[in-house]
Amino acid sequence: MGGQGFTYAEVGATRNADVPPGYAWLRVRVEVGSGPEVMRNAADALMEFWMHRALPAKVNASASRAAPGVAVEVSLGVGPLRLRAPCRVVWAEEDERRAGWAYGTLPGHPSSGEEAFVVHMDDEGDVWLTVTAFSRPATRLARAAGPLGRLFQRAYARRCGAVLRRLARA
């Protein structure tokens, strides 16, 4: 998929939780609940972008469900302070015990890299969200943010878990 306008070469590396060298990395795991119903609800909320919309973030996607090639723009803030993050889904998977996808950054995104969101049910029936990302600043503003950018990304991942927990139990 490299060559489809991505701003980094290691397209798809999050699928196996690979973290290429030269990037800051993030891995956050949050318990969502337990049982098959929670798993189904969490998978739907994740695959249909409801988790992101409930953060709240504005999400424009070229399809209603995550699938390779789907264009996604996530934006936060209002008016001239709105931060836009154009991405494209690089991989997606879904079965009874695991569902997830990753998007890669496109030109105009403040960072360069990939972020994956995977919900899975373990052998005890507990359901977890794992967010894995690798990135580096792509704009002057992102470089100026320094460690604050990584703190924001970690807080965003934890917030995703809290939101998914609420959505999965509804």
Q: Where are the domains of the chain?
A: 13-169
- Residues with pLDDT less than 70, the chain: 1-4
Superfamily of domain 13-169: START domain (3.30.530.20)
Q: Is-contact 88 107, C-beta < 8 A?
A: no
3-state helix, strand, coil in the chain (%, to 5): 30, 40, 30
For residue 70, give the amino acid letter: V
Q: How does pLDDT run across 51-100, given as a tens digit for each residue? A: 999 987 889 999 999 999 999 999 988 888 788 899 999 999 999 999 99
d(CA 19, CA 91): 16
